[in-house]
Amino acid sequence: MRIVYLHYHLKPGGVTTVLRQQASALARDHELLILSGSPPPDDLAAPAIQLADLDYDHVRQTAVGPADLADAITSAIHATWPTGCDLIHVHNPTLVKNRALLPALERLQRAGQRLLLQIHDFAEDGRPEVYTRSPYPADCHYAVINSRDRSLLRAAGLRPEGCHLLPNMVTPLPPAGAVPPARGQVLYPVRAIRRKNIGEALLLAQLLRPGLTLGITLPPTSPADQKSYGMWRRLAEAQGLGVAFEVGVGRRFSELVHAAPFLITTSITEGFGFSFLEPWTARRAVWGRRLAAICGDFEAHGIDLGHLYSHLRIPVEWFDRADFAARWLGAYNRAHRQFGLSLSEAAAQRVLEGLLLDDKVDFGLLHETHQVAVLRELAALPDGMEALTRRHPDLKGLGSLADADRRIRNNRQKVLDHYGPDGYRRQLTALYQAARRPVRQHIDKAALCRAFLRPEQFSLLKWSAYDA
């Protein structure tokens, strides 16, 4: 097959890593071409052409129209293969970071081009600034990286034969170097953006057994996350929480993992969930928050994550209930307006009352203001952490597993069996064969938006600004 990969850029990041893996997996058996808005690096497994008009709107110096962009893509393809390609695999086109791309793809489609649109991140999932109310391309194939996203798209109108699951490939971490691991710093391998729920990581740091500290690897890069990050750093220092920040700057990730007794994750949302899989390949366990929508896929393949917790229910008397209610209602109403959905004040109030029915709220739904109040309340109570673990017995013995060796061996092997390079190559080839078949389908965008606005998952870390 002749396959074209198309993405806004080839700068370091998750989507670029996936694109690289896909090209490497198929370069031996298929003809490939990569089209990107940024200059291609030298180490790609396939030929690449820069089309500056593909880059983000805010990066380009000049505006571009859909017709010109479609012509540029077509010209690049025919310059490589005069008779054209079999399929264009487009990464994250529904995030409107280039307003010409979606209409350009529809032009290519009308000209007879087969398209596979892979969604890694949904604009509907808390990103209204890159959402368009225009329809998404119809009658082409879609791929997603987890079963939840596949279920949501099928519920929004896509057909089983046109909506495909393509989990990411997991590359095993290299073995430890010659220096013996220190094993004293538990690792949270994350860029500390708000959605990674840093306040909960600071809470877990207080449950570590004596002699252990917590290291958070990387700082955020976006201005929207800097203020929150700075606040957490100051709080951790002021309360002596035993947390080090930016421990991954200038160090190899694999070395950090091998030097850790175990790893944690407290993220409230993930696309694929590498943090639940990669550590096992280095024979390190993962602890923390279980994301049901993500972890269900892993557990279906025999990966044992039963030691993780799904919720961290906090009594409302530990923070300002009225402020939380006002912030949550405001954000919930605002999100509906941003996506063009109707919601009455009475309906929103009923939803909030259901959320607060037993006077407890999941810590991951709280704004940083409330999370700070909880941490201070726990510090002020004579038996603060004991009170928390009484409510959540699954937090006791954080990092200790009675069957640690067995579980690590099992999980490591399951990760390699189901997410390794050989299986990925087979899945990708089968997907491309399926994506060349005609399909009639379209996405009901209102239904998709509502699916991402489920109140039990509506976190102020994602849906409201940090304004403290």
Residue 207 sits in the same domain as residue 301: yes
371 within domain boundaries: no
CA 155 – CA 447 distance, rounded (Å): 8
Residue 278 sits in the same domain as residue 403: yes
Residue 93 sits in the same domain as residue 162: yes
385 within domain boundaries: no
Residue 221 sits in the same domain as residue 261: yes
Q: 3-state SS of 221-242?
A: CCHHHHHHHHHHHHHHHHCCCC
pLDDT of residue 368: 98
175 within domain boundaries: no
Structure-token match 């012509």, residue found: 71
For residue 245, give both structure tokens: 């920040």
CA distances from 233 to 68, 270, 432 (A): 48, 23, 46
Structural domain count, the chain: 3
Return the exposure string of 67-89: e unless at least 16 CB atoms fall within 10 Å of the residue's CB, then b: eebbebbbebbeebeeebbbbbb
pLDDT of residue 396: 86
Residue 285 sits in the same domain as residue 236: yes
In which band, very low, low, confident or very high, does the pLDDT at 468 lie, cut at 50, 70 and 90?
A: low
Residue 327 sits in the same domain as residue 258: no
178 within domain boundaries: no
Residue 24 sits in the same domain as residue 150: yes
pLDDT of residue 382: 82
Domain that holds residue 347: 317-364+455-463
37 within domain boundaries: yes
Residue 50 sits in the same domain as residue 148: yes
Residue 274 sits in the same domain as residue 258: yes
Are 32 and 5 in contact by the 8 Å Cβ rule? The answer is yes
Residue 108 sits in the same domain as residue 243: no
Q: What pLDDT, in 10s, does the model give residues 315-372?
A: 999 999 999 999 999 999 999 999 999 999 999 999 999 999 899 999 999 999 999 9
CA 53 – CA 97 distance, rounded (Å): 12
274 within domain boundaries: yes
pLDDT at 177 over 90: no
